[in-house]
Structure 1
Amino acid sequence: MRVVSLVPSLTEAVAATLPGVLVGATDWCSHPADLDVVRVGGTKNPKVDRIVALAPDLVVANEEENRAPDLDALRAAGIEVLVTEVRSLPQAFTELTRVLAACGAAGPPRWLEEAEAAWSRLPEPARRRTAVVPVWRRPWMVLGRDTFAGDVLARLGVDHLYADHDERYPRVPLQELRAAAPDLVVLPDEPYRFTADDGPEAFPHLPCALVSGRHLTWYGPSLVRAPRVLGAALRAAHG
């Protein structure tokens, strides 16, 4: 198989399971750190001609991260495209199994079994907390309805306040976010790179949890450690 991945999560998953199968990946595919493949541009602006030149048997993509016109152009060039939809943890496990099988895996890899086990063993939270979860600023945007990250947080005892919003990533003025009075603010380091010096100052009277965006939003080998990594960051926000 020759596979091109247009999704960082899937790049890591395929590389960890089937070394040598990937021939191309996006500029944003940062894991594994030693990945040595042709870079084909960004998730939103892949270089279709470069992908076609690699003559892949399969391109793996995602309905949220990649644009339909780019995927249509690849199909028009005669390339098979597998598009995933991941809006919950169970859906992530199902889609990962489907992608890896399409790439040639004989069965679920050990890391995927470990990830499912790690999430199935989660204890019931002592108490549930509310949160707002910005994913961008200038303008401020937060997690809304039907998101993978929102489902991950809910399983860790954190209910984000815009889960029933009409939009998946609504723009919400900062004053409204503050007035919502959540128990905490969850600030991931991607897609916007919130840091200790860039983000918490906007919420001076609220606890802020700086969390790993890879463990919050990626579905792949990072899911094995995600419950532990995210749980520690969320607990630290409340001391």
Structure 2
Amino acid sequence: MVSLVPSLTEAVAVTAPGLLVGVTDWCTHPAGLDAARIGGTKNPDVAAVTALAPDLVVANEEENRAPDLDALRAAGLRVLVTEVRSLPQAFTELERVLTEGCGLAAPDWLAAARDAWLGVRPPSRRRRAVVPIWRRPWMALGRDTFAGDLLARLGVDNVLAGHQDRYPRFDPAALPPADLAVLPDEPYAFAPDDGPEAFPGLPAALVSGRLLTWYGPSLVEAPQALARALAGATPRP
């Protein structure tokens, strides 16, 4: 099996070590993964994937490009494409990949993740946040995103959730009213001295991009860890 999605790589590798024969250069979890590297999520080496002769390639409609997936199908490979834009959809697609795609039993960590999120009780006062994912140019979460759904369940509403684009460009000086900046460390590696300074007056919560944007075993720890990071947002002068 080959995975073109870091989240799905972790989900499969944790559930069935040794099943994956190929993964992308961005597949960093679990540590010590023993599989061929076949390029990036946006530019996989189709010939290298085909040479591995996997019985299944797992992909995502957002992470991967349709022409690459079409090329893999044309090479005779079976491609399973997921769509994950909300937490319930993540659970459904993870189970589909693991049980229907891989022929595995639903793992214990998936049940634990469901339980962890069922136990979430958001604070009584909701907050409004801007959630950048890139700078130079500035880009942020917009409408209909998995990460936006997670934040909403934790009591944080995305101020750009009504934008027509899912990942719009924006001007930090011309944002709708917000009282929080949520800065993940991927895909752009926001850090204490690189990001918060662009939002003077707003508390800044530096969060793990894996916990905010990955769907897999990280969902077990994500609700508590993200809630702590959001609660500890540091005010900016």
Same-fold call, TM cutoff 0.5: yes
- Count how many residue pairs are aligned between Structure 1 and Structure 2: 234
In the TM superposition, residue 31 of structure 1 has moved relative to its aligned partner by: 0.1
What is the alpha-carbon distance in structure 1 between the residues aligned to residue 98 and residue 234 of structure 2?
39
Counterparts of 1:87-236 in structure 2, within 5 Å, are 87-101=85-99, 102-105=101-104, 107-177=105-175, 180-236=176-232
Instruction: Report the AA paired with residue 177 of structure 2.
Output: A
**Which residue matches 2:71?**
73
Instruction: Report the AA paired with residue 228 of structure 2.
Output: A
Q: In 1, are the aligned partners of 2:139 and 2:168 still within 8 Å (CA)?
A: yes
Instruction: Report the AA paired with residue 218 of structure 2.
Output: S
In the TM superposition, residue 124 of structure 1 has moved relative to its aligned partner by: 3.7
**Which residue matches 2:4?**
6
Q: In 1, are the aligned partners of 2:18 and 2:34 still within 8 Å (CA)?
A: no
For residues 179-219 of structure 1, what are the alpha-carbon distances to aligned partners after superposition, in whole Å with 9 as ceiling and x for unaligned? x2311000000011100010011112110000000000000
For residues 15-42 of structure 1, what are the alpha-carbon distances to aligned partners after superposition, in whole Å with 9 as ceiling and x for unaligned? 0111111000000000001101000000
What secondary structure, in the 3-state scheme, does the structure 2 residue paired with 1:237 have? coil
In the TM superposition, residue 110 of structure 1 has moved relative to its aligned partner by: 0.3
What is the alpha-carbon distance in structure 2 between the residues aligned to residue 232 and residue 10 of structure 1?
25
Cα separation, partners in 2 of 1:130 and 1:212, compared to 1, 3 Å:
same
Instruction: Report the AA paired with residue 104 of structure 1.
Output: G
Instruction: Report the AA paired with residue 214 of structure 1.
Output: R
What secondary structure, in the 3-state scheme, does the structure 1 residue paired with 2:103 have? coil
In the TM superposition, residue 164 of structure 1 has moved relative to its aligned partner by: 1.0
Structure 2 gap ranges (5+): none
Instruction: Report the AA paired with residue 123 of structure 1.
Output: R
Q: When the two structures are superposed, what TM-score results if normalisation uses the length of structure 2?
A: 0.97
Instruction: Report the AA paired with residue 106 of structure 2.
Output: P
Percent of residue pairs bearing the same amino acid type: 71
What is the alpha-carbon distance in structure 2 between the residues aligned to residue 114 and residue 23 of structure 1?
27
What is the alpha-carbon distance in structure 2 between the residues aligned to residue 181 and residue 238 of structure 1?
18
Q: In 1, are the aligned partners of 2:142 and 2:162 still within 8 Å (CA)?
A: yes
What is the alpha-carbon distance in structure 2 between the residues aligned to residue 165 and residue 39 of structure 1?
36
**Which residue matches 1:60?**
58
User: What's the Cα RMSD here?
Assistant: 0.9
What is the alpha-carbon distance in structure 1 between the residues aligned to residue 213 and residue 76 of structure 2?
31
In the TM superposition, residue 69 of structure 1 has moved relative to its aligned partner by: 0.4
**Structure 1 moving runs of 4+ over 6 Å:** none
